[in-house]
Amino acid sequence: MYDITSKSADDFINHEEILDTIKYADENKNNIKLIDSILEKAKLRKGLSHREASVLLACKDENKNNEMFKLAEQIKKDFYGNRIVMFAPLYLSNYCVNGCVYCPYHAKNKHIARKKLTQEEIKKEVIALQDMGHKRLALEAGEDPVNNTMDYYLECIKTIYSIKHKNGAIRRVNINIAATTVENYRLLKEAGIGTYILFQETYHKESYKKLHPTGPKSDYNYHTEAMDRAMKGGIDDVGLGVLFGLDKYRYEFAGLLMHAEHLEAVFGVGPHTISVPRICDADDIDKSSFSNGISDDIFAKIVACIRIAVPYTGMIVSTRESQKTRERVLHLGISQISGGSRTSVGGYFEAESEEENSRQFDVTDTRSLDEVVNWLMKMDYIPSFCTACYREGRTGDRFMSLCKSGQIQNCCLPNALMTLQEYLMDYASSETKEIGENLIHKEIENIPNEKVKNIVIKNLKLIKDNNKRDFRF
């Protein structure tokens, strides 16, 4: 029975409720009166239920879909402005004991190169990332109780935060690792992580079991209830996501929003981020063997509908997607992207050969971070390397309350401009620097508070003329 506050995944991600939601959406996909009322509610910027959002996703009316896209773009501007947060994944280890059929790390894959970074290798990787200009990392690893222990993760986090190279520093470490215990989440929180990320892969329980035939990840309920344990362990910023293409996208969409609603109902704060990866080719994996792949048009609509349904939640798209696709969804709700990414273990310091392939998936957008930053600014986006909220304690419900009230805008634009100025001074090509200087000069005028504006102008000068770094509101 559907129960949004239940501790059991079978209740808060209830199969019958999802099927009934899809049925309701099918029955009302041409109900223009209802669709209009849902869109009017969405304009209040309070979000939508999984059932309301599913009606919008099912709608085939071209005019209404265009309204949705425009609303999604406006909501994105209202809460995130034209800022795009930059990050990079760092793969620590691809040792894994699970049997996930969509991932090349699965235990039966005997020809992928298995690697685990030492602390010395991590230092080299982090320095290479700092030399690109990155300030925010997402740690990735397979599940292996022998090779990938909590002690190993904690040591890696400590190492990463300790590295100061020239003007570089990693100021925020997020982590995407297997579901674990409340106590381990507490240890991660104490180590200073930002967001704990765990993709559900699929919310369809029977499909989940088939896709995860062996290993600890095969326990659907333990995996799905991980975010509850993370929040009990003190991690108040969590990141959800499904791998679109494993099961029917409308089922996944409803389940994803139900998960967000559950966290909001139980803990008072929904997910900090939602990721929208699509299945792609990798070593030992052929995406064409999965029959539930989605088109670019459907992908764009999913992004728009998520943005409308959860207006305060950050949305992430990775280098799985092409430049063209990323450009399209940036307008519809995406607020974070990766740049210059490597999905191999140890791929930043020294590019690996094809014979040593340890990649989790093939990168489609292969541009450097500087090329991505340049591209964003030419579209009048502000690439942001800001990590201030997490370092100032603006996380969880504190972040959400500021976001909902609009007060967060007093911090975000100034911090984005100051961190962009750091990037321009330390890492940018001459062309990127010129474009960035002009963009900053223009965007300063959009800071509404005159006192804040004057402080930003002063700090920008200190960054440029006195080599000062790490100003933040």
d(Cα 96, Cα 202) in Å, to the nearest integer?
A: 19
pLDDT tens, residue by residue, 60-112: 999 999 999 999 999 999 989 999 999 999 999 999 999 999 999 999 988 88
Do 211 and 89 share a structural domain? yes
Q: Please report whether residue 17 resides in a domain.
A: yes
d(Cα 84, Cα 81) in Å, to the nearest integer?
A: 9
Of 76, 105, 130, the one marking the end of a domain is 76
Do 51 and 126 share a structural domain? no
Do 227 and 286 share a structural domain? yes
Do 118 and 42 share a structural domain? no
Tell me the pLDDT of the chain averaged across its residues: 94
Q: Please report whether residue 116 resides in a domain.
A: yes
CATH number at residue 298: 3.20.20.70
Do 107 and 174 share a structural domain? yes
Of 56, 76, 96, the one marking the end of a domain is 76
Do 22 and 84 share a structural domain? no
pLDDT tens, residue by residue, 364-385: 899 999 999 999 999 999 999 9
Do 454 and 419 share a structural domain? yes
Q: How crowded is residue 62: how many other Cβ atoms within 10 Å of its Cβ?
A: 8
For residue 453, give its domain range: 391-466
Phi, psi of 108 (to 5 degrees): -80, -10
Of 59, 76, 93, the one marking the end of a domain is 76
pLDDT tens, residue by residue, 209-224: 999 999 999 999 999 9
pLDDT tens, residue by residue, 259-300: 999 999 999 999 999 999 999 877 777 888 898 999 999 999
**Which residue matches tokens 């029977």?**
206
Do 113 and 54 share a structural domain? no
Q: Please report whether residue 385 resides in a domain.
A: no
Structure tokens at 184: 């381990």
d(Cα 112, Cα 298) in Å, to the nearest integer?
A: 33
Number of domains the chain contains: 3
Please give the DSSP secondary-structure letter assigned to residue 352: P
Query: How many angstroms from the chain centroid is the CA of residue 441?
Result: 29
Q: Please report whether residue 386 resides in a domain.
A: no
Do 224 and 322 share a structural domain? yes
Do 110 and 196 share a structural domain? yes
Indicate the residue type of 139: L
Please give the DSSP secondary-structure letter assigned to residue 178: -
The percentage of residues in the chain with a pLDDT greater than 90, rounded to a whole number, is: 84
Q: How crowded is residue 458: how many other Cβ atoms within 10 Å of its Cβ?
A: 11
Do 400 and 260 share a structural domain? no
Q: Please report whether residue 281 resides in a domain.
A: yes
pLDDT tens, residue by residue, 386-432: 998 878 777 776 677 766 666 666 789 999 999 999 999 999 999 99
Mean pLDDT over residues 8-35, rounded?
98
For the purposes of burial, counting CB atoms within 10 Å of the CB of 174, is it exposed (0-12), middle (13-18) or buried (19 or more)?
Answer: buried
d(Cα 181, Cα 234) in Å, to the nearest integer?
A: 12
Indicate the residue type of 157: I
Do 116 and 84 share a structural domain? yes
